[in-house]
Structure 1
Amino acid sequence: MINKTIESVEEAVADISDGASIAVGGFGLVGIPSVLIAALRERGTGDLTIISNNLGTDGFGLGLLLQDGRISRSIGSYLGTNKEYARRYLSGELTVEFTPQGTLAERMRAGGFGIPAFYTKAGVGTPLASGDIPTRYNTDGTVAEYSAPKEIREFNGEQYVMEEGLRPDFSFVHAKRADHYGNLSFSKTAQNFNPDAAMCGKVTIVQAETLVEELAPEEIDLPGIYVDRVVEVGPQETGIEFRTVAE
């Protein structure tokens, strides 16, 4: 079996060049591959297409790449409270393709399974299907480009929207534990978009908090067949988007 461990995060991201597309696991700030993101930022790589549920928060996670102007296109579901995300989108600095969360997960999974496209009811009868969502603005605030209309098919009397699978150049994934063969174990809700992101990338890079010699079969959440590189990063603290405390 192939040993997929890499000595450093710098080595793990060394071949990612300008213009690359990257699927990034995590949901909000939970389970995000923040060490890999920081290493890519340090390299200065830009003009990136990022496929992720959201782009982190201001100054954290993918938000760091965003504030540096490294991301030119985003495929995701949630703009959220990231003010820089909204500013760049509305000022024409960022092209955004909005996709429903469940559809995004399935597009990732489909890409990993070799499925070029599939049909879903999500989005039927909405601007997503008709192609009326702005994907890019001009600097004066007018719309420069709209989303493309989706193909609609009818099955058993119901309408469905066609969505294409995603197959990015790379994937960034966070795992709690990994073994030398790329088998992964996720912790609790970090098993969000991480498995789907891992499946779809042409080259999947994993940051693991702990690297072990071999995971037992019952411990494996994602088999190593989907993983190309694993780097150990040590314990990671989960960020909190909204901290609410009682008085």
Structure 2
Amino acid sequence: MKEILTSFTDAVADIKDGSTVLVGGFGLCGIPENLIKGLRDSGAKDLIIVSNNCGVDDWGLGLLLENRQIKKIIASYVGENKEFERQVLAGELEVELTPQGTLAEKIRAGGAGIPAFYTPAGVGTKIAEGKEVRTFNGKEYLLEEAIVGDVSLVRAHLGDKHGNLIYRKTAQNFNPMIAAAGKITVAEVENLVEPGDLDPQQVHTPSIYVNKMIIGQQENRIERKTVATS
């Protein structure tokens, strides 16, 4: 049985100042909302955050930006957050923009124990500065190093007490690879069930990758609402 916590601040207690934290989700879909709030309340600072994006101004990882807890963000998209823009332009935040597929593979490789890989994405651009470029079959490829986090924070729709996780629909996005790429992985689950209640063939993250669990109800905010006129 995995350790099942009741305090979100306790759940992120392994995150110290300067930690590298991998956070699941895409936009506001599939983010570990309550673990992020717990991390905000913990006061840990100088964090290196690895995630697809940095939330919005008043939600998700945007809460950590607002609280000045992030030193560096490694992400593929940052366009919805005005505070993010302000901190970057003011020189208060370091940003490493990475092509989305490359970011996903850097995290996947980290979880698989692969230290680096070659990709054509970024060749001939600023992303390639200072990195090794090799030619395979007449095409240039860029060497990218894998990412491993001190702590991974993920969100699952279902989890059993052994730590097996199932993500709901598009919330699968970055969560499975991030769960595998952390030295410690904390899972926020919407519904906790007994061992044997999950179909093994439906499990996205096996229990071996999960260290701690906590039940959290989600607000499921909409990042950008678009409606049609009748």
TM-score, normalised by the number of residues in structure 1:
0.89
Q: Distance in 1 between matches of 2:172 and 2:3?
A: 21
Q: Distance in 1 between matches of 2:9 and 2:97?
A: 31
Residue identity opposite 2:214 in structure 1: V
**Which residue does 1:86 correspond to in 2?**
85
Please, which runs of 5 or more residues in structure 2 have no aligned partner?
Answer: none
| Residue 237, structure 1, aligned to residue 219, structure 2 | yes
**Which residue does 2:138 correspond to in 1?**
157
- Offset of residue 90 of structure 1: 1.3
Q: Distance in 1 between matches of 2:74 and 2:95?
A: 6
Q: Distance in 2 between matches of 1:38 and 1:90?
A: 26
Residue identity opposite 2:10 in structure 1: E
What's the RMSD between the two structures over aligned residues? Answer: 1.1
Q: Distance in 1 between matches of 2:204 and 2:36?
A: 23
Q: How does 1:1-247 map to 2 (within 5 A)?
A: 2-129=1-128, 131=129, 149-214=130-195, 215-234=198-217, 236-247=218-229
**Which residue does 1:135 correspond to in 2?**
none
- Offset of residue 13 of structure 1: 1.1
Q: Distance in 2 between matches of 1:119 and 1:90?
A: 32
- Offset of residue 246 of structure 1: 2.2
Q: Determine if contact 1:4/1:181 at 8 Å carries over to the other structure.
A: no
TM-score, normalised by the number of residues in structure 2:
0.95
Q: Distance in 1 between matches of 2:156 and 2:80?
A: 26
- Offset of residue 179 of structure 1: 0.7
Q: Distance in 1 between matches of 2:16 and 2:122?
A: 34
Residue identity opposite 2:30 in structure 1: G
Aligned residue pairs, count: 227
- Among all aligned residue pairs of Structure 1 and Structure 2, give the percentage whose two residues are the same amino acid: 54
Residue identity opposite 2:174 in structure 1: F
- Offset of residue 55 of structure 1: 0.4
- Offset of residue 15 of structure 1: 2.6
Q: Distance in 2 between matches of 1:79 and 1:150?
A: 23
Please, which runs of 5 or more residues in structure 1 have no aligned partner?
Answer: 132-148
Q: Distance in 1 between matches of 2:135 and 2:228?
A: 51
